[in-house]
Amino acid sequence: MSRVTKKASSVCTDSPLSMSEVCQKMTLMRQILTSCFGPNGRLKQVHNNVGGHVLTTSTSTSLLQAVSSSEPLLKLITASILNHLSRFSDCGLYTGILCFSLIDHVQKSGLRPSVAIKINKQLLEVCTSFLNQEDCGCKVNVDFNSCQSLVTLARSVISSKPACVLTEGEQQHISTLAVHAFLLTVPCGDTLSSPVRLGRTVTVSIEGQFVLDSTVFPGLLVNVPDMQLHPTDSERIRRGPGPFRLALFTVSLSGDLSEFGEGFLEVNCGAPDPEDLILNQLLKLGEQAVTDQVEVFMCQRVIHPVLQHYLRRHGLLVVERLGIALIQPIVQMTGAQAVALYQTPIPPEAYGQVKGCFVRTVGSRKMLHLLPPREPVPAVCTMVLCHRNDTMLNELKAACQRAEHVLRLTLRDPVGLLGGGCTETHMAAYVSNKGTTEAAEAALSLGVSQSHYLLGLNGFCSSLETVALALEHDGGTSLVDLTYAHHWPVPQGEGLQQGDEGEVPATCGCGLVERSSRPGLEWTPLNTRYPP
């Protein structure tokens, strides 16, 4: 078959960085990520060029998924950052700025890519080794005996998302809730004899409410807007405490023949109606649930009205249209097995338990509150997040999910890194000193010249400092002290004069080093040559 148009050359090239168009796209992407970085980062509005939904965000996950590019190299970098986020859930902007800065320095230095890759890998191992040291100056121990330590860690994540638009009091409230939800999902009791299984936090978003109305409930909140329409349900919930036996179905119990797939159904004259047969089968299922003393009957999809009436007449609490997102949390909390057939009897081991059921009013919504059956088990809790509009609510939900993931990571390694750019400047100083001292040996082991190694070392350390510089968005300057190598941001218009300490801020970026208690400190502009 002949081609309508001439075959175009492959998009991929062996040296994409030699093309000016590719470099311009990379520079633009770097500027986008840099301008969003930190608690004072600028927001971005992303929309299709033909209109439609407008996304307002400064979060790396939302931004990278919304901004598409046809350039293979940018796609590769974006995929790498998103993979990092899938593992660690945070620091996507940090990763992107560092990546683009390393590429930029390699281009400017004239190093061959293969040489730069070897040097960067070796320096990355130096960073990893330094961070694993007990006396590492970048690490702060997270004290699980103090909730304040956990709240501070959670707040460092939430406050770095400016699109949440939170006041100081709201940041503190949301950070406290994030820690509360995290602690509810950590199992109690003796867990040494079995592997530790963490619980789950389910987020419910309420638009139009005050942020301070946000709260956390142990157990699960299920949206059942028509709950009060059935008096038997209200009567069932008002009875004494549980535990209540629960049955959970993922198959549709509507009796719809379409569940059997596409095709034609041929019925002989005088044969029973298939819909009647299905309804009889559903009623047998209901009879078994009543006989087995099931008290909460839940289905992911739709339940036939006749079956609903039968179950409610016998005092069962019936909930339909749960949706697939709630199935796994219900299974985890109640111990039930999701039943995917209704043609066979329910096995006894498929039943779960809930401790109690209540109807709660959350904002303008009626919700069924299911309590976990016993303690200690990997608990499920519900975080109700409120905000003024949908955009802020989505950013707040993403920020809380990242804070929870960061808190979970501290269970494995209970340390945190300094914020405010101090980790980057301190690590850059350490790597620079160590690399300069051991330049001859390191260059020999890598099979490169010492001059090339020092070029790569300078680019690597400068890239780390570039991340700290990206925190400033208002025209200010950044300093580094020559004693602790911490980052000191100076606001615009307050430039440092030689020998004048009056304009230097009272504390460094992370707040651990105070100028008043450290006499004799010297500063120099960041990302410039300075003595060890």
* Helix orientation angle between 305-313 and 274-291, rounded to the nearest 10 degrees: 20
**Top-tier CATH class for 224-261+270-364+374-378:** alpha beta
Q: What is the pLDDT of residue 225?
A: 64
Q: What is the pLDDT of residue 228?
A: 47
Q: What is the pLDDT of residue 237?
A: 59
Average pLDDT value for residue range 196-214: 91
Q: What is the pLDDT of residue 499?
A: 41
Q: Give the pLDDT confidence of 91-119 residue by residue, as tens digits.
A: 899 999 999 999 999 999 889 999 999 99
Domain boundaries defined on the chain: 14-109, 146-187+197-219+380-416, 224-261+270-364+374-378
507 vs 488: CA distance, rounded Å = 7
Selected residue with higher pLDDT from 245 and 272: 245
Per-residue pLDDT band at 243 (split at 50, 70, 90): confident
Q: Give the pLDDT confidence of 429-452 residue by residue, as tens digits.
A: 999 999 999 999 999 999 999 999
Q: What is the pLDDT of residue 265?
A: 59
Q: What is the pLDDT of residue 240?
A: 54
Query: Is the predicted pLDDT of residue 1 greater than 60, yes or no?
Result: no
Give a three-class secondary structure readout of 226-289.
Answer: CHHHCHHHHHHHHCCCCCEEEEEECCCECCCHHHHCCCCCCCCCCCCCHHHHHHHHHHHHHHHH
Average pLDDT value for residue range 253-278: 68
Q: Give the pLDDT confidence of 506-525 residue by residue, as tens digits.
A: 899 998 999 888 788 889 99
Query: Is the predicted pLDDT of residue 365 greater than 90, yes or no?
Result: no
Beta-sheet pairing, 487-490 with 477-481: antiparallel
Per-residue pLDDT band at 2 (split at 50, 70, 90): low
Q: What is the pLDDT of residue 273?
A: 67
Q: Quick one: which of 359, 367, 304, 410 has its CA closest to 89? A: 410
Q: Give the pLDDT confidence of 6-31 residue by residue, as tens digits.
A: 766 656 667 787 788 889 999 999 99
State the burial class of residue 20 (Cβ atoms within 10 Å of its Cβ: 0-12, 13-18, 19+). Answer: exposed
Q: Give the pLDDT confidence of 211-231 residue by residue, as tens digits.
A: 999 999 999 999 886 654 455
Per-residue pLDDT band at 360 (split at 50, 70, 90): confident
Per-residue pLDDT band at 467 (split at 50, 70, 90): very high
Average pLDDT, the chain: 86
Q: What is the pLDDT of residue 495?
A: 52
Selected residue with higher pLDDT from 51 and 380: 380
Q: What is the pLDDT of residue 30?
A: 94
Average pLDDT value for residue range 450-474: 94
| pTM reported for the whole predicted model | 0.85
Share of the chain above pLDDT 70, in %: 86
Query: Is the predicted pLDDT of residue 295 greater than 90, yes or no?
Result: yes
Q: What is the pLDDT of residue 496?
A: 52
Q: What is the pLDDT of residue 194?
A: 63
Give the domain 146-187+197-219+380-416 fold: GROEL; domain 2 (3.30.260)
Burial 118-144 (b: 16+ CB within 10 A, else e): bbbebbeebbeebbeeeebbbbbebee
Is residue 260 within 8 A of residue 233, CB to CB? The reply is: no
Per-residue pLDDT band at 144 (split at 50, 70, 90): confident
Selected residue with higher pLDDT from 221 and 196: 221
Is residue 198 within 8 A of residue 329, CB to CB? The reply is: no
Least confident of 73-82, 229-238, 270-279, 372-381: 229-238
Per-residue pLDDT band at 402 (split at 50, 70, 90): very high
Q: What is the pLDDT of residue 359?
A: 85
Selected residue with higher pLDDT from 110 and 350: 350
Number of neighbouring beta carbons within 10 Å of residue 520? 5
Query: Is the predicted pLDDT of residue 233 greater than 70, yes or no?
Result: no
User: Quick one: 14-109 is in which CATH superfamily?
Assistant: GroEL-like equatorial domain (1.10.560.10)
Per-residue pLDDT band at 266 (split at 50, 70, 90): low
131 vs 139: CA distance, rounded Å = 7
